[in-house]
Structure 1
Amino acid sequence: MDRAPGPSVRLKLTLSYTGFLILPAVLVLAALAAFLLRYQELAWDNEAGVIIAPPGRFLLRSFAPAAATVMTFLLVFGLVGGWILAGRMLAPLTRIMDATRTAAPGSLSHRIRLPGRRDEFRELADAFDAMLALLEAHVAEQRRFAANASHELRTPLAISKTLLDVAGTDPHHDTGEVIDRLRAVNARAIDLTEALLLLSRADQRSFTREPVDLSLLAEEATETLLPLAEKHGVTIETRGDVTPTSGSPALLQQLTTNLVHNAIVHNLPGQGMVWVTTSAHPGSVILTVENTGEKLTPQLVSTLTEPFQRSTERIHGDQAGLGLGLAIVATITRAHDGTLTLTPRDTSGLRITVQLPARTHSQS
């Protein structure tokens, strides 16, 4: 915004300090002058016929130079002292402003780290440092996401080009096989593109909130993925309470489906278990999905919600996926003002908990 130049805050504070210093002095001197004018009367000696007390005007003439000297001293003292005091008080604000100018072009690694005890300026500096740290992490995540997305999208295109080149140079190559492989590669590229669009849509919160029961969504996701679970030899157990919340039914359905699908495909082959539980609490509802599987470390678990992050099993398994399942879950949870928690189970596998705000009567 283009603003007209104006006096600095330091100058305004200096003038304010000086004004508060001069005003009481002026009032005191004015009261003293009024007192002298009112109560200093002529005192005559009737026998001698002379004045034995000086008149008020004479006292004022003697008082005025001293008062002017005092006022001049207070004015100079107020201006100089106010300027120095305002500068010391505004020094933290200057550091914050310099940090803002440094961060404006995109340099987010700078921190203010304002020393001293807590006050308004230091709370502002700490909040600004926290905001810079959050922005830096978000920008780094977006850069990794863009690089990984470019790589993932480039892979099917490169495979398609190779298949077409081989088919073009070898006229006797089986055309049907090439078409089938191109169809599979193209389907994977479409799935990846739709997943990226879903991530963007959820992150922008461009949806209408409606009443939703997480327990019903969990049952629907379980029924839909039951054939996949039977194929992998995984048993699913579903239990829980009615869990009323509000949000996008489509996005929350995608969330529950991704969680159950993730628990099925990253499980023990032929003897795996998945537990889907819903519970209602004061002010919140919770969806928990647990599964057996490989032993996971807390370090690995902390990275699973990042886009295109894959565990060893996900890389080498037949259900490679897109690496976006849990990233989509994290984005949808965040868009619904919820909390996503991933913890490795004591024995093996993973426990994922989604906590969302409960639906109030005004939202029903």
Structure 2
Amino acid sequence: MTEETAPQDGPDGPDGPDGPDGRAARPDREGGAQAARPAGPAGDPGDAGARRGGRWRRPGPQQVPQPHPAAKGMWRGDAGGPFAQMTVMPGRMSVRLRLTLLYGLLFFMAGALLLFVMSVLMANILGNVKVIGFGISDAEAAELQRQFVEQTMRQLVGRSLLALGGVGVITLVLGWFVADRALSPLQRVTTTARRLSESTLHERIALEGPDDEIKELADTFDAMLERLGQAFDTQRRFVANASHELRTPLAINRTLLEVALGDPEASDDLRAVGRTLLATNARHERLIEGLLLLARSERELTARTPVDLAEVAATVLEHSARREHDNDVAVHPELTPGTALGDPVLLEHLVSNLVENAIKHNAEDGGELWIRTGMLEGYATVQVENTGPVVPAYEVERLFEPFRRLNADRVESAKGAGLGLSIVRSVVLAHRGAVYAVPRPGGGLIVTVRLPPGQPAA
């Protein structure tokens, strides 16, 4: 394997397809036969990771993976926060500027038309003026009349154009402020829309003023917020009710089965059936937990705290090592500090789902798993790579959909419910990050998550 420097952000910048956005920067597009050390800003923990032997997977020259569609354009951040980004496209004029130019253009066109009409009328009036002289011939009088008309028209047109230009500049300035005043209600609507999240849906624009089209737009937006608030309240109640109504019967079933299996007089057939039912019950519990977590992770975060991804990964690996079915997979941790800003519980579920997905879909014999954390180009990054079956590039996108696995669309007993990467994607998008997945040469998958950085906890 060779090493190469981290590619730089493309012309789209950090807010485009090649940047962190909803959805991340480009260096996380791994999957080629090349690797590189973490390349971040000077002083990044990623530099320390490079000295300690950490290696970030890179795409080969013919493998430039694209971000998952759900991650595109998602790097926005909260309005007013450190990651707030303007969504104005390069070279696009604002409505205020267009209105100002329209005002100016209409004024100049009207002024030019008025000047033309005035010139025609003045020329007609001056044409009727007769020069009367003494001691000059009629030809000389006609020449003097022509010169008088030309000189008068030149002065009239020149001074009129000068006045038109001066008044036109004043009109543009006044048009700029008039357009700003006319668009101020729309700016209020835009500011409110950017600030809103699930926790602030109670806010309203409540625009006052004349009953015009802009007020109608604001009232319509307020009505939409009311419906959204009701929808989120309904979802919260459903999640709470489902959490209780679905998990409680399964917990009771598990207890009854465990008691039955603990009976020393139970027959072998009964024990076999009990173990099968217990495994089925456990799968149903995991499915319900996954669905509830998926519903929770798709909601807007109300609070964010600094979380070290290295500590989260270490905790997840410690729990994973205690499970018997994980012992046949060789885990290679390459953990360096990488502080993200987010929800600690959701981030632990994110890393846990990445690790469990990599273990379940690993090679049957001699499986390996690599997990890397750190700061890469200023962003908190976690990357999980595993051996396993060959994943076609066209199948990668489908893996992020709920209940989807490679070559299977139904819930299977051994591989889980197919919610692992769906939960990962939802958690990443809730954190305004981005997730990439590319096939690993020789089989397996490389999944990279980039999250907004946070200051390390004191």
**Which residue of the partner structure matches residue 192 of structure 1?**
287
Using CA pairs under 8 Å that are at least 6 residues apart, name the structure with larger relative contact order, 1 or 2.
Answer: 2
Give the aligned residue type for 1:24: A
1:24 correspondence with 2:119: no
Q: Distance in 1 between matches of 2:307 and 2:432?
A: 15
Structure 1 counterpart of 2:335: 240
Equivalence map 1:246-325=2 (5 Å): 246-269=341-364, 271-311=366-406, 319-325=414-420
In 1, are the aligned partners of 2:326 and 2:359 still within 8 Å (CA)?
no
- For 1:350 and 1:22, the matched residues in 2 are separated by 66
Look up the SS of the partner of 2:322 in the other structure: helix
Aligned letter for 2:115?
A: L
Q: In the TM superposition, what are the counterparts of 1:43-58 in structure 2 within 5 Å? A: 43=132, 45=134
- 2:299 pairs with 195, 204, 218, which one? 204
Distance (whole Å) between structure 2 residues aligned to residue 326 and residue 219 of structure 1? 20
Q: CA deviation at 1:288?
A: 1.2
The share of aligned pairs that are identical, in percent, is: 32
Distance 2:375 2:106 in 1: 62
Which ranges in structure 2 are unaligned for 5 or more consecutive residues? 1-102, 150-245, 254-268
Aligned counterparts of 2:315 and 2:279: Cα–Cα separation in 1: 27
CA contact (8 A) 2:301 2:430 kept: no
**1:248 positional shift:** 1.3
Contact residue 244 and residue 359 of structure 1 kept, 8 A: yes
- Label 1:223 to 1:175 Cα distance change in 2 as closer, same or farther (>3 A): closer
Residues 162-199 of structure 1: CA deviation (Å, up to 9, x unaligned): xxxxxxxxxxxx99998887776555444323322322
Q: How does 1:138-153 map to 2 (within 5 A)?
A: none
The RMSD of aligned alpha carbons is: 4.6
Residues 8-87 of structure 1: pairs in structure 2 closer than 5 A: 21=109, 23-31=111-119, 33=121, 36=125, 40=129, 43=132, 45=134
Instruction: Give the distance between the partners of 1:277 and 1:264, measured in 2 at CA.
Output: 15
Q: What CA deviation, in whole Å up to 9, does each residue of 1:265-309 have, x standing for no partner? A: 222345322111113122212211112222333233332211111
The separation in 2 between residues aligned to 1:22 and 1:318, in whole angstroms, is 78
State whether residues 391 and 406 of structure 2, in contact with CA within 8 Å, keep that contact through their aligned partners in structure 1. Answer: no
Residue 228 of structure 1 corresponds to which residue in structure 2? Answer: 323
Name the aligned partner's letter for residue 285 of structure 1.
Answer: A
Structure 1 unaligned spans of 5+: 1-14, 60-152, 161-173
1:351 aligns with 2:439: no
What SS does the aligned partner of 1:250 have? helix
Change (3 A) 1:38 1:332: same
Aligned-partner SS, 1:303: helix
CA distance in 2, matches of 1:232, 1:313: 26
Greater Rg over alpha carbons, structure: 1
Q: In the TM superposition, what whole-angstrom CA distance separates every residue of 1:302-347 from its partner, at most 9, and x where no partner exists? A: 3221111123699897633111011111121222222222222222
Please report the TM-score for the alignment, with normalisation by the length of structure 1.
Answer: 0.51
Task: State the secondary structure of the residue aligned to 2:429.
Answer: helix
Q: Give the structure-2-normalised TM-score.
A: 0.42
> d(CA) in 1 for partners of 2:118 and 2:108?
16
Contact in 2 for aligned 1:232/1:264 (Cα 8 Å): no
AA paired with 2:113? A
Does the Cα contact within 8 Å between 1:202 and 1:251 map onto a contact in 2? yes
Moved more, 288-297 or 207-216: 288-297
Distance 1:295 1:228, change over 3 A: farther
SS at match of 1:198: helix
1:264 is displaced (CA, Å) by 1.7
- Pair 1:23–1:328, CA change in 2 (3 A): same
Asked if the contact 1:233/1:271 (under 8 Å) is kept, the reply is: yes
What secondary structure is seen at the aligned counterpart in 2 of 1:205?
Answer: coil
* Aligned equivalents of 2:283, 2:325: Cα separation in 1: 23
Give aligned pairs, total.
233
User: More helix per residue: 1 or 2?
Assistant: 1
Partner-residue secondary structure (3-state), 2:291:
helix
